[in-house]
Amino acid sequence: MTQIKRKILKMLIIIFLKSTYVYAENKNELSIGIAVGNGIMENVKGMHGPTENNPGTNVKGLVLDDDSLNTIYSLSIDYNKSLNDNLYINSGIAFARHYTGDTSITFDGGGNSSFPDIHFRGLALELGPSYRFNEIVNLTPYVGLNASAFLGFQSDTNFGVNSGTYGEGGAETFVECYGITPNFGFFKSSGIFKGYGFSIENLKLECDNDHMRSMTEGYEADFDIVQYRIDYRIFFN
């Protein structure tokens, strides 16, 4: 986790320094979008008490029998700053909601437990370069790579030992994720529907989250979500 944070910070600094050399006459964009998506939550592990065939309190890995992690929606606003005719720097923020399915989990070494759904909500932050290809029939295709962060909260954390029901209610706890988001898409650059676009982005995040049910000291997990975004761009100098 520390290594990927250092790499992301280094990338952000390089991008920021390069962006200071942009000239005022370059064309810039403001983009507003909405996305849905689907993916998985995997490589889950955290401090846990004894389970079947795995006694003692130690770090245990687990697998969600249904590991789906879906995006309910992601509402975004992005600023795209032109560096030259083809290269842009993107900075964006989105409010997003994700959720897991109502499933069961299997621990390393055996042992099963029910695992009600979790809802995640928070802010997604993006910063990175994108490259625009030449226009094709009034469409401008592009590819990009963003350094990404997701900071927010997770629901239904109740362990249910002292009160309440396992996996229902409980105080929301913090979620902190860092990674990268490769993306590609196109937008209408002229003619009718100018400014409208579509993109596909792959959030690949390493998360270090606070306590969740029987993982009372928190847990680590990887989020891998493909999102499909429709957006509208406003062009200005």
Q: What percent of the chain has pLDDT over 70?
A: 89
Q: Flag whether pLDDT at 142 surpasses 50.
A: yes
pLDDT digits (tens, 9 = 90+) for 187-234: 998 888 999 999 999 999 999 999 999 999 999 999 999 999 999 999
Interior angle at CA 204, CA 91 and CA 210, nearest 5 = 95
Burial of 73 (0-12, 13-18, 19+ CB in 10 A): middle
Interior angle at CA 84, CA 83 and CA 86, nearest 5 = 110
H/E stretch holding 14: helix 2-19
User: How far is it, in rounded angstroms, from Cα 76 to Cα 152?
Assistant: 15
* pLDDT on residue 114: 92
pLDDT digits (tens, 9 = 90+) for 16-53: 555 444 444 448 999 999 999 999 999 999 999 998 88
Query: In terms of Cα–Cα distance, which of 233, 150, 148, 149 is closest to 194?
Result: 233
2-236: CATH topology: Porin (2.40.160)
The 10 Å CB-count burial string (b at 16+, else e) for 195-218 is: bebebebbbbbbbbbbbbbbbbee
